[in-house]
Amino acid sequence: MGLTKSSTGVKVSGRSQKKRSGENDFKLAIAGNPNVGKSTVFNALTGMNQHTGNWPGKTVGTAEGRCRIGDKRGILIDVPGTYSLSAHSPEEEVARDVLLSQDIQGVIVVCDATCLERNLILALQIIALGKPVVVCVNLLDEALRKGLEVDLTQLSRELGVVAVGAVARKRGGLDDLKSAISSLLESVGETDKKPCGARDLSAEDASRRAEETGRLVCRSNRRDPMAGDRLLDRLFTGKKTAYPIMIALLLFVFWLTISGANYPSRLLSGALFWFGDKVGEWLLGLGCPIFLHGLLIDGAYRTLAWIVSVMLPPMAIFFPLFTLLEDSGYLPRVAFNLDKPFKRCQSCGKQALTMCMGFGCNAAGVVGCRIIDSPREQMIAILTNSLVPCNGRFPLLIAILSIFFVSGAGLGASFTSAVLLTGLILLSVLATLGVSKLLSVTVLRGMPSAFTLELPPYRPPQIGKVIVRSVFDRTVFVLGRAVISAIPAGIILYLMANLRIVDSTILSLCAEFLDPFARILGLDGVILIAFILGLPANEIVIPIMIMAYTSTSALTELSSFAELGQLFVANGWTVTTAICVMLFSLFHWPCFTTLMTIKKESGGIKWSILAAVIPTALGMTLCAIVNFIGTVLLR
Amino acid sequence: MNKTIKLCDLMTGEVAKVVEILPENRIRGRLFDLGLTEGGNVKCLFNSPTGGMRAYLIRGACVALRDEDAATVLVSGGSKDGAD
């Protein structure tokens, strides 16, 4: 479920790059079941020399990389994980096409040593195709931990191809693999004719053969090798423990993200603003006109600096945590636990995972919806993703909670905030379920799909690698998004806050214009215009409010919640206003990046429009109701 | 003890042999891919906390199926077995 610059940025290519023919000595494919460490093997063989391309005609990406085996250089294609060659999904079709293609001279099949029998089904089908194959039995360390042993020599004999063992994530067995590939390439060079005896082995026949082979080749010195996993499953999916653990974990992740990001955010904004001031002075020294200086520094740069310093630290914490949970094998259990409520809303448990991804960044959540097989359910998940607050909205929610609903400071107060925040989150989850149900009886009608959910063995996540990879990937993505949306936003904001018509700035004129309508929703004109101008990034909503209330000409920050609270109260905020602002923050149009991502994922602007309308309608309705109750009934 | 029952009626911990997957099963092909084929072993591992879904051991891998999908898979010989 990766959110990276390459998968969502403007640079995603429609066709494979670097098609320089004649430069490559070989072209091989790496195939295997999902979750067997195929990508780890691929990364180990290709290093950083890889990119994601598209197999012609399909929209599923395949990673390609250059690698060097002995003195030969060639290309390795990382085929999407698949269970067998009978294609039931776009990914499996792509896998099948790649493997059958004339371009591919051989296949490396990666298998999971801890459940070899199932993995052999695909391996046997690929071997039956007639192309040269090397079988790489990965995760031998995991198997050993469970008391399982694989007799590689016997496996080789049974399958009729070379079988090597590997512990890819520790780079073990790679030399064996490389020399096996070397011999494979040599044999390809010798017999350069169409493979004879190529046939389609059905899944049933392959299963039977896999069972026989597995029995001969695998040995277990424990009564139940999976006992450890079963114990963890009892904990994570047990009637009494499943939900409390999920909620506790959610709380923990939020708390860590929020408290961990605080200090780095301040540091970053301090540094960036200082740098901006210096550049500003330098520009003025060069004779830059004041207006241009204002536009570039106070407008564009300051907005950019603000967004980056507020956006980066929480994401740098949230996404690694999320990826750790994913790598460890826990997340599919969440989908397992939550399948029933989602099924009631005509969707599936995997939507719970995309929802969780949305807590980090809604755009990431939308991209993550690719894990949902049914297109209908995928669209439901995409459209409802913005109903959960992303990291960018947390600062606003926390600020308002702290100012209006929590007194004092210290551990007790931050715990209360966390609890209230979790309450808001649960409200979002309920909204997600409700809107999913609504969509599935109106625009996206259909029956719940049939699907299988693989619950992989628990594995200790590779903490170091995850953190480095996540932080690097996310950082690049975040900075890219910040630059694209912040700079124009900053310029517009500056113009609105400084250009005057008669006596008032455009910003205050807009706020006045929107005020009557906003009052119905329990907000005021400033709040509404701040949300509208916050389209590029939710992080700037509060700064815009401050800017408008204090009539300053650039985004400013107030140093404490107390000051912010005073500003709000001085401008007429009541508790009802606070509640309405929080509700509107939860339920309003998605940010610009999310809308663009939805357009790209769904292939049309129609769904983006719907994705903007649905939360807004919900938010406005709820706000109007709460405002009515708050002002009229509770007088 | 060889009566045919539905897969979803298997008790936790019971092992059985697959008899057939009825044609009305919407994921018949996918289940074959996963190794749920005639004569193959399958064991019921655990339930979802809210019901409606169960996890099964199929060819060494743990796969969860919704009860309505498991209802059209017929198995026989359900018996308690600790190991696979």
pLDDT per position as a tens digit, A502-553: 878 888 888 889 999 999 999 999 999 999 999 988 888 988 898 888 887 7
Chain B nearest-CA distance from A242, in A, is 7
- Of the pLDDT bands very low, low, confident and very high (cuts 50, 70, 90), residue B58 is very high
Distance between CA atoms of residues A316 and A261, nearest Å: 8
- Of the pLDDT bands very low, low, confident and very high (cuts 50, 70, 90), residue A55 is low
Residue A498's pLDDT is 85
Q: Does pLDDT of A438 surpass 80?
A: yes
Q: With an 8 Å Cβ cutoff, are B66 and A121 in contact?
A: no
- Of the pLDDT bands very low, low, confident and very high (cuts 50, 70, 90), residue A210 is confident
Describe the strand order of the beta sheet including A106-112 as a list of residue ranges: A50-54, A61-69, A72-78, A26-32, A106-112, A133-138, A162-165
For the record, the structure tokens of A475 come out as 């950082």
- Of the pLDDT bands very low, low, confident and very high (cuts 50, 70, 90), residue A169 is confident
Q: Work out the percent of chain A whose per-residue pLDDT is above 90.
A: 19
Q: What average pLDDT does this structure show over A77-97?
A: 81
Distance between CA atoms of residues A420 and A246, nearest Å: 17
What sign has the CA pseudo-torsion A17, A65, A79, A328? negative
Q: What average pLDDT does this structure show over A608-623?
A: 94
User: Does B66 lie at the interface with A, CB-CB under 8 angstroms?
Assistant: yes
Distance between CA atoms of residues A259 and A184, nearest Å: 54
Q: Work out the percent of chain B whose per-residue pLDDT is above 90.
A: 38
Q: Does pLDDT of A622 surpass 90?
A: yes
Shortest CB distance from B30 goes to which of A88, A220, A340? A88
Chain B environment of A233 (Cβ under 8 Å) = 45-46, 55
Give how far Cα A16 sits from Cα of A12, A196, A601, Å.
Answer: 10, 30, 19
CA torsion, ordered A123, A125, A127, A132, to nearest 10 deg: -90
User: Does B19 lie at the interface with A, CB-CB under 8 angstroms?
Assistant: no
For all residues of chain A together, what is the average pLDDT? 83
Q: With an 8 Å Cβ cutoff, are B33 and A203 in contact?
A: yes
Q: Are A405 and A420 in contact (CB under 8 A)?
A: yes
Chain A environment of B48 (Cβ under 8 Å) = 237, 336-337, 339-340
Q: Does pLDDT of A587 surpass 90?
A: yes
* Residue among B8, B22, B33, B43 with most chain A CBs within 10 A, to mutate: B33
Q: Are A397 and A582 in contact (CB under 8 A)?
A: yes
> Considering the entire predicted model, what is its pTM?
0.82
Residue entry with tokens 């003195």 = A71
Rg of chain A (C-alpha set): 28
| A136 sits in which H/E element | strand A133-138
User: Does B84 lie at the interface with A, CB-CB under 8 angstroms?
Assistant: yes
User: Closest Cα partner for A53 from A81, A24, A80, A89?
Assistant: A80
Chain B environment of A234 (Cβ under 8 Å) = 46
Residue A16's pLDDT is 42
Residue B18: closest C-alpha in chain A: A204
pLDDT per position as a tens digit, A299-350: 888 888 888 888 888 888 888 888 888 888 898 899 899 988 888 888 888 8
User: Does B22 lie at the interface with A, CB-CB under 8 angstroms?
Assistant: no
For the record, the structure tokens of A311 come out as 């956006």
Shortest CB distance from A121 goes to which of B25, B35, B55? B35
Residue A424's pLDDT is 92
Shortest CB distance from A210 goes to which of B35, B51, B65? B35
Q: What average pLDDT does this structure show over A248-271?
A: 85
Residue B84's pLDDT is 41
User: Does B50 lie at the interface with A, CB-CB under 8 angstroms?
Assistant: yes
Distance between CA atoms of residues A581 and A610, nearest Å: 22
Q: With an 8 Å Cβ cutoff, are B59 and A117 in contact?
A: yes
Q: Are A490 and A553 in contact (CB under 8 A)?
A: no
pLDDT per position as a tens digit, A452-506: 888 988 888 878 777 777 777 766 776 777 778 888 888 888 888 888 888 788 8
Residue type, A119: N
Residue A320's pLDDT is 86
Shortest CB distance from B53 goes to which of A204, A238, A336? A336
Residue A170's pLDDT is 81
* Residue among B57, B62, B68, B81 with most chain A CBs within 10 A, to mutate: B62
Cβ burial, residue A255 (10 Å; 0-12/13-18/19+): middle
User: Does B65 lie at the interface with A, CB-CB under 8 angstroms?
Assistant: yes
For the record, the structure tokens of A267 come out as 């540091």
Residue A116: closest C-alpha in chain B: B60
pLDDT per position as a tens digit, A182-197: 888 887 765 544 555 5
Cβ neighbours of residue A546 under 8 Å, at least 6 residues apart?
A552, A555, A556, A557, A558, A564, A567
Distance between CA atoms of residues B50 and B52, nearest Å: 7
- Of the pLDDT bands very low, low, confident and very high (cuts 50, 70, 90), residue A618 is very high
Cβ burial, residue A488 (10 Å; 0-12/13-18/19+): middle
Q: Does pLDDT of A89 surpass 80?
A: no
- Of the pLDDT bands very low, low, confident and very high (cuts 50, 70, 90), residue A20 is very low
- Among left, alpha and beta (phi > 0; psi -120 to 50; other), residue A224 is beta
Residue entry with tokens 């896999």 = A210
User: Closest Cα partner for B10 from B59, B62, B57?
Assistant: B57
| A404 sits in which H/E element | helix A394-404
